[in-house]
Amino acid sequence: MNLQTLPFLLAMIVVAVGLYAVVCKKNLIKIIVGIIILDYGANLFLMLTGYRENGLAPIRTANMNADNFLNSSVDPVPQALILTSIVIGLGTVALMTALAIRIYEKYETFDISEIKQLKG
């Protein structure tokens, strides 16, 4: 275990915490929070793949040649991916919250052990 793998491990722990909340919590809102944590864990992991120690922001200024830029900046691709992934996460969470509100209107509870008309 060296210092460079530690952040990846931490990202995985965040994912595990999110999964724990999704699997074990009985409250709809806590499940939604779990999904958000899970999403952030994945984003963090993706972000770390582009990390470089003492790297610059990936903006190429006029007085910077291409080789210099490649050797000093962090990888911009994961950042573009995370932007997309955050938007997708936003859509999912918005839909999930809307569903939770409608479920509360129907069942008058957020407890999933009381929301079980479907089984078999």
Binding site for other proteins (CB under 8 A): 15, 18-19, 22, 28, 31, 35, 38-39, 41-42, 45-46, 49, 77-78, 81, 84-85, 88, 91-92, 95-96, 99-100, 102-103, 106-107, 115-118, 120
Taking the complex as a whole, the smallest distance from the CB of residue 81 to other proteins amounts, in Å, to: 6
Q: What is the 3-state secondary structure (H, E, C) of 42-110?
A: HHHHHHHHCCCCCCECCCCCCCCCHHHHHHHECCHHHHHHHHHHHHHHHHHHHHHHHHHHHHHHHHCCC
Residue 13, Cα to own-chain centre: how many angstroms?
12
Taking the complex as a whole, the smallest distance from the CB of residue 36 to other proteins amounts, in Å, to: 10
Q: In terms of CB distance, is 59 or 118 closer to other proteins?
A: 118
Q: In terms of CB distance, is 68 or 102 closer to other proteins?
A: 102
Taking the complex as a whole, the smallest distance from the CB of residue 20 to other proteins amounts, in Å, to: 12
How far apart CA 45 and CA 85 sit, in angstroms, is 12
Q: In terms of CB distance, is 22 or 74 closer to other proteins?
A: 22
How far apart CA 90 and CA 96 sit, in angstroms, is 10
Q: In terms of CB distance, is 73 or 92 closer to other proteins?
A: 92
